[in-house]
Structure 1
Amino acid sequence: MTDFEALDQPDEALEAQIAQWREYVERRRELKTADADELEDHLRGSVDELVEAGLSGDEAFLVAVKRMGSLDELSREFAREHSERLWKQLVLTGPDGGAAAGETGARKTLWVMAGCAAGAAATFKLPELFGADLDEDGLFYATNISLFALPWLAGFLAWRRRARPGLIALIAALFVLGAVAANVYPLDEGSQSLVITAIHLPIALWLVVGLAYVADDWRSTRRHMDFIRFTGEIVIYFVLIALGGVVMVAFMVGTFKAIGVQPERFIVEWLVPCGAMASVVVAGWLVEAKQSVVENIAPVLTRLFTPLFTAVLVAFLVAVGVTAARIDVEREALILFDLLLVVVLGLLLYSISARDPLAPPGLFDKLQLALVVSALAIDALVLIEITGRVTEFGTTPNKAAALGENVILLVNLAWSAHLLLRFIRRQGRFAALELWQTRFLPVYAAWAWAVVLIFPPAFAFM
């Protein structure tokens, strides 16, 4: 290590501490990016003064955090979450002011969440007032499933972020547009356009939820990455709620049958569908309220499944090479491979969102590079097969949608692999990979809306 590098190490440690503090500050939804910038400038100014007075960088940071004045309550919470830090002893002093106000705000949030969850459950049953039936009108529910819960989740998040009326109007207009696309087009049961609409509309509307999540900070890269983290966390919480629901339903069936009551109809028609819609909102509220818990779980899951998926993809490529078999590009296979690539991208995105951007490259980064390269190889094979089929037999809505999605994923993963390789070689910063992923989100939104709105009429609703 050179003398220059040795001198630079304390600065890197201090930057890591400030970055950790900044990330915690930005979780406070009442603070905008400009507010966080101002607070960080104040913190850095205090640190510089203390360093000039003779303190080390670490000591200066501890004292500067303690001196944050109006942020004493925030500093105490920050210290509680990072209890392993030595400076917990410096921060956790003084009266715990503001607790009553925080309790009141939490209670209000709970009631708003409960109202939104009840609204999502009621919305699912609303079509029955107009003659719809869950058994006989399965196509209607398949295309509209995302319109039952996501508007209520977006409403809850917009309320939490104190979104401006203009943004709320835009979000509402996009949900209305999605409802029109799902119900106005003449899509038959055997229509391929029906399938791609049912798949892409939830994606398009989920990114509308993202607008409510970032609210007025839509230009902030950190807020975009927070939404990616939110997406992964809400999936985890929803699955946990669903598993608990399965256990509850099993006990319910057993206990009611013991007294001669058959609860199956109530469970199928009311409890399960309405509970699923409400659980989307509840899961979003849990992510907002219990971030520190799930942020410990999610990185563990990411680190568990990344090597497993890497092994599966490598094994698949080896099998293709040994058997010289061609990939079947029928509809079910296309959906499967697209989902596989989405899972790979999800693992990459969530590992990025949960990673310390200032940490040096390590073994897990190399494993991620292997995962991305394997996915790229599979994506290239699928693209070759789709292009050949389109050239030979012409295009269909399924093949056109799959072709576009594979091209989009190919571009994303290829540049992600390039940035990962540069980072591993210490030729670039990890922040560049984070920035690339957040700037790619509008591409997914544009493509999903194009498939929902343009593809059905373009292919004569076939």
Structure 2
Amino acid sequence: MTAQHGQDELEAQFAQWRQYVERRRELQASDADELEDHLRGSVDALVAAGLSADEAFLVAVKRMGSLDELSREFAREHSERLWKQLVLTGADQDPAGGGSRRDLWALVACAAGAAVSVKLPALFGLDFDQDGSFYARNFSLFALTWLAGFLAWRRQAGRTMIAALAALFVLGAVAANVYPLGEESQSLVITSIHLPIALWLVVGLAYVSEEWRSSRRRMDFIRFTGEWFVYFVLIALGGGVLTAFTAGTFNAIGMDPEVFISQWLLPCGAVAAVVVAGWLVEAKQSVVENIAPVLTRLFTPLFTAVLLAFLAAVLVTSTGIDVEREALILFNLLLVVVLGLMLYTMSARDPLAPPGVFDRLQLALVASALAVDVLVLLEIIGRISEYGTTPNKTAALGENIILLVNLAGSAWLLLKLVRRRTPFEALERWQTGYLPVFAAWAWAVVLVFPPLFDYA
């Protein structure tokens, strides 16, 4: 039994290594076969010499890593594995990752492009302060188009992929600007909320590029999303300090910088920060890899406690949930944050690690969110049956059904994981396979809901 377990562990490590090799666009399947045969041959020889299977794998990877840059990159990415310390040495550890000079120039061009594009509407009389509905619909277009362009350039995306990305952004621009959405309409609100989601998943397509079918690459994009959010918040905090100092220093000499701050500094800085945060994730991955486990272990128990306290309060008070627009947005945002926290936790987890206490805590978090989702759904259905449909309630109904299915599947797979009846990869495949569902719903809300509800 012990020997069989050791062989299973060895095959799992071979499978993980092979999965990484197949992600290399410059390698053909025959190249991957040759590399794996070479690695297996080395392991077999070392086992015959008396080493255990695990020891033989580590030594074989070290030997292969000293000869092949591919193994160095594999070890660099899987930093939680012991063979990172065996393979990476000295100059091989580049903390800047992809932060080459060419990347830096591309970053400057894309960030500047985002800043310029957000000011172009001013040439046509669209003021940032006075035309709030226009910028609410289009702000994500100004920022995410350039981030997607930077990632597509860095991935050396092919012409077909670039054409697909351009078509999706054009479609988003048409949906945001062709429909007659009034400033007080619910359709404007749901478009302003769902278009950034739809476009962010287009950014994900640029991130995975030609490997969009790969579950592992989709999980990489989920990790990218969490790390991008961390960097963007840090940049925003720094930008807030800069804004405060700008206002204070100029006011001290009798000049009012309010117009400059509201018309130039904030909008241009915000869209440029979207691109800069993406570049930082690409260039400084090793830094955020150390932050991710800390953040997930800090906020997972806190969110679990909040959700459990909320459910207890609902049971004790028997108070129904308010399903007006602001409350729906709040509850859906809460569920999305829980889902994002779970995904970020998954992206930072060692796929080969056995289930532990934190996986059980994840199960409690997902189960609590699932219960909240059911309560919200019941209230929405009751309100729709009593008062009829509106764009907000219909969008919330669909989103909560989609989240219900996702959370239910996640809870079931997490339960099987903690009971050691399914591998972690099953949960990973479930989540990465669900991304197209989120994308399809977001695009449906943006494109179909406004005319369906007569732009109300």
- Fold-level similarity (TM above 0.5): yes
Asked whether the 8 Å contact 1:62–1:87 carries over to 2, the reply is no
Asked whether the 8 Å contact 2:325–2:392 carries over to 1, the reply is yes
Q: CA shift at 1:68, angstroms?
A: 2.6
Asked whether the 8 Å contact 1:33–1:220 carries over to 2, the reply is no
> Using a 3 Å threshold, how does the CA distance of structure 1 residues 42 and 285 change in structure 2: closer, same or farther?
farther
Match for 2:100: what amino acid? Answer: A
Which position in structure 2 is the counterpart of 1:350? 344
Asked whether the 8 Å contact 2:75–2:83 carries over to 1, the reply is no
Q: CA shift at 1:424, angstroms?
A: 1.0
Asked whether the 8 Å contact 1:192–1:397 carries over to 2, the reply is yes
Asked whether the 8 Å contact 1:62–1:90 carries over to 2, the reply is no
For 2:192 and 2:181, the matched residues in 1 are separated by 11
Match for 1:64: what amino acid? Answer: A
Which position in structure 1 is the counterpart of 2:50? 54
Q: CA shift at 1:85, angstroms?
A: 4.6
Identify which of 310, 313, 320 aligns with 1:319: 313
Deviation string, structure 1 residues 380-430 (Cα, Å, up to 9, x no partner): 111111111111111010010000000000000001111111111111111
Q: CA shift at 1:268, angstroms?
A: 1.7
Match for 1:384: what amino acid? Answer: L
> Using a 3 Å threshold, how does the CA distance of structure 1 residues 313 and 88 change in structure 2: closer, same or farther?
closer
Deviation string, structure 1 residues 64-95 (Cα, Å, up to 9, x no partner): 223337854455567678599588467638xx
Asked whether the 8 Å contact 1:73–1:98 carries over to 2, the reply is no
Identify which of 159, 164, 171 aligns with 1:170: 164
**Residue 404 (1) aligns with residue 402 (2):** no
For 1:291 and 1:31, the matched residues in 2 are separated by 24
For 1:22 and 1:73, the matched residues in 2 are separated by 15
Asked whether the 8 Å contact 1:66–1:72 carries over to 2, the reply is no
For 1:296 and 1:13, the matched residues in 2 are separated by 26
For 2:250 and 2:150, the matched residues in 1 are separated by 35
Moved more, 301-310 or 14-23: 14-23
SS in 1 for 2:402: helix
> Using a 3 Å threshold, how does the CA distance of structure 1 residues 11 and 91 change in structure 2: closer, same or farther?
farther
> Using a 3 Å threshold, how does the CA distance of structure 1 residues 202 and 244 change in structure 2: closer, same or farther?
same
Identify which of 92, 110, 114 aligns with 2:89: 92
> Using a 3 Å threshold, how does the CA distance of structure 1 residues 36 and 209 change in structure 2: closer, same or farther?
farther
Identify which of 92, 95, 110 aligns with 1:116: 110
Match for 2:274: what amino acid? Answer: V
Moved more, 431-440 or 261-270: 261-270
Determine what percentage of the aligned residue pairs are the same residue: 72
Identify which of 335, 339, 342 aligns with 1:341: 335
**Residue 360 (1) aligns with residue 354 (2):** yes
Q: CA shift at 1:117, angstroms?
A: 0.7
For 1:97 and 1:53, the matched residues in 2 are separated by 30
Q: CA shift at 1:320, angstroms?
A: 0.5
**Residue 143 (1) aligns with residue 137 (2):** yes
Which position in structure 2 is the counterpart of 1:265? 259
Asked whether the 8 Å contact 1:29–1:160 carries over to 2, the reply is no
Q: CA shift at 1:257, angstroms?
A: 3.5
The count of corresponding residues between Structure 1 and Structure 2 is: 454
For 1:319 and 1:62, the matched residues in 2 are separated by 53
Which position in structure 2 is the counterpart of 1:254? 248
Q: CA shift at 1:170, angstroms?
A: 0.7
> Using a 3 Å threshold, how does the CA distance of structure 1 residues 257 and 33 change in structure 2: closer, same or farther?
farther
Which position in structure 1 is the counterpart of 2:190? 196
For 2:344 and 2:331, the matched residues in 1 are separated by 20
For 1:334 and 1:343, the matched residues in 2 are separated by 14
Which position in structure 1 is the counterpart of 2:150? 156
Asked whether the 8 Å contact 1:32–1:217 carries over to 2, the reply is no
For 1:288 and 1:231, the matched residues in 2 are separated by 11
Q: CA shift at 1:193, angstroms?
A: 0.6
SS in 2 for 1:68: helix
Asked whether the 8 Å contact 2:332–2:396 carries over to 1, the reply is yes
Match for 2:169: what amino acid? Answer: F
Q: Point out where structure 2 has 5 or more consecutive residues left out of the alignment.
A: none
Which position in structure 2 is the counterpart of 1:303? 297
> Using a 3 Å threshold, how does the CA distance of structure 1 residues 221 and 40 change in structure 2: closer, same or farther?
farther
> Using a 3 Å threshold, how does the CA distance of structure 1 residues 97 and 417 change in structure 2: closer, same or farther?
closer
> Using a 3 Å threshold, how does the CA distance of structure 1 residues 88 and 427 change in structure 2: closer, same or farther?
closer
Match for 1:459: what amino acid? Answer: F
Asked whether the 8 Å contact 2:62–2:86 carries over to 1, the reply is no
Match for 1:340: what amino acid? Answer: L
Q: CA shift at 1:253, angstroms?
A: 2.8
> Using a 3 Å threshold, how does the CA distance of structure 1 residues 52 and 273 change in structure 2: closer, same or farther?
same
Q: CA shift at 1:60, angstroms?
A: 2.2
SS in 1 for 2:100: helix
For 2:73 and 2:351, the matched residues in 1 are separated by 23
Match for 1:187: what amino acid? Answer: L
For 1:343 and 1:103, the matched residues in 2 are separated by 29
Deviation string, structure 1 residues 114-168 (Cα, Å, up to 9, x no partner): 1001101111001111111011110000010110011111111111111110110
| Backbone CA RMSD of aligned residues | 2.8
Match for 1:92: what amino acid? Answer: T
For 1:119 and 1:325, the matched residues in 2 are separated by 50
Match for 1:121: what amino acid? Answer: A
